[in-house]
């Protein structure tokens, strides 16, 4: 859908920049327009020339702002016929990766991630107990059974993938979007970190048993026990991973 802008000079969509770094102001203004639903997914932004006129800057400055927004996944820039800058559609897989890219650039440590996981996942099990549906519990149960079926040395990658999926499924059982997005981000860290972890069958079996115990506590609505079990599990697996990485 092409965004229709009428009487642009009298009622412009964006205001001229008044900041020291023009492209940041432009990016912020467009972001606000998206967040306030003045621009919707699929809308085409005004042309570079039109944006430059509205913001009273050069086209290179506008281009820099659009590149910054594209990096964040807020817009998509298409080339060729029908090209231009379009408001992007929400992608649940893009944000977690972007969050982890920034955290890794900032120098996040293994210990910090374990602390963050403990805080987040103990809260998650509390609200999973409140909001989980029968279907949610079935999905978690199926994941646990599938993880049991692949316990063997040659299946480490598949086993690790099942372990990660388990934590995402428990997060999704909260039906709370911030919890879901945050746990996906932390599990993106896990996918990267665990690329160097080859759990033994004993470690895989431990994870299977821990996941089952947590699920049983969720089903029985035992908040304190589920949180204690989750904390212990996150710490222990963290120790497995750290030991494995040091051995490389």
| Same-domain pairing of 79 and 101 | no
Domain residues for 215?
94-246
pLDDT digits (tens, 9 = 90+) for 96-134: 777 777 777 778 888 999 999 999 999 999 999 999 999
| Same-domain pairing of 171 and 62 | no
Give the C-alpha distances (Å, rounded to integers) separating 28 from 18, 88, 140, 233.
Answer: 12, 16, 40, 41
Q: Which of 46, 63, 87 is the last residue of a domain?
A: 87
The confidence score (pLDDT) of residue 248 equals 47
- Is 0.75 surpassed by the pTM of this model? no
The token duo for 100 is 């982890």
Alpha helices for 20-58 (secondary structure H): 22-35, 48-55
| Same-domain pairing of 126 and 79 | no
| Same-domain pairing of 98 and 82 | no
| Same-domain pairing of 75 and 172 | no
| Same-domain pairing of 175 and 81 | no
The confidence score (pLDDT) of residue 73 equals 79
Q: Which of 41, 56, 87 is the last residue of a domain?
A: 87
Rounded Cα distance, 199 and 152, in Å: 9
Q: Residue 47 domain-assigned?
A: yes
Q: Residue 17 domain-assigned?
A: no
Is the pLDDT at 9 greater than 80? The verdict is: no
Q: Give the chain's domain count.
A: 2
Rounded Cα distance, 134 and 221, in Å: 13
pLDDT digits (tens, 9 = 90+) for 189-244: 888 877 778 889 999 999 999 999 999 999 999 999 999 999 999 999 999 888 87
| Same-domain pairing of 119 and 212 | yes
- Residue 68, domain CATH: 1.10.10.10
| Same-domain pairing of 229 and 179 | yes
Q: Which of 87, 103, 137 is the last residue of a domain?
A: 87
| Same-domain pairing of 181 and 209 | yes
- Residue 147, domain CATH: 1.20.120.530
| Same-domain pairing of 68 and 41 | yes
| Same-domain pairing of 116 and 234 | yes
């Amino acid at each position: 859908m092409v965004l229709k802008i009428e009487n642009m000079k009298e009622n412009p969509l964006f205001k001229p920049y008044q900041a020291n770094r023009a492209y940041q102001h432009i990016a912020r203004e467009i972001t606000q327009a998206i967040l306030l639903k003045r621009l919707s997914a699929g809308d085409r932004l005004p042309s570079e020339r039109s944006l430059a006129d509205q913001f009273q800057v050069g086209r290179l400055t506008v281009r820099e702002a659009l590149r910054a927004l594209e990096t964040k996944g807020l817009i998509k820039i298409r080339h060729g016929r029908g090209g231009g800058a379009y408001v992007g559609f929400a992608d649940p897989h893009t944000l977690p990766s972007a969050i982890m890219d920034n955290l890794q650039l900032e120098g996040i440590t293994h210990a910090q991630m374990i602390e963050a996981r403990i805080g987040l996942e103990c809260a998650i099990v509390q609200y999973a107990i409140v909001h989980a549906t029968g279907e949610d519990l079935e999905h978690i149960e199926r994941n646990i059974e599938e993880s049991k079926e692949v316990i063997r040395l040659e299946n480490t990658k598949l086993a690790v993938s099942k372990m990660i999926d388990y934590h995402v499924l428990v997060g999704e059982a909260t039906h709370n979007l911030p919890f879901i997005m945050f746990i996906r981000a932390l599990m993106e860290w896990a996918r990267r970190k665990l690329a160097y972890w080859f759990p033994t069958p004993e470690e895989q079996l431990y994870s299977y048993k821990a996941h089952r115990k947590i699920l049983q506590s969720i089903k029985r609505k035992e908040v304190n026990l589920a949180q204690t079990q989750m904390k212990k599990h996150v710490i222990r697996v963290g120790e497995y991973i750290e030991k494995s990485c040091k051995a490389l």
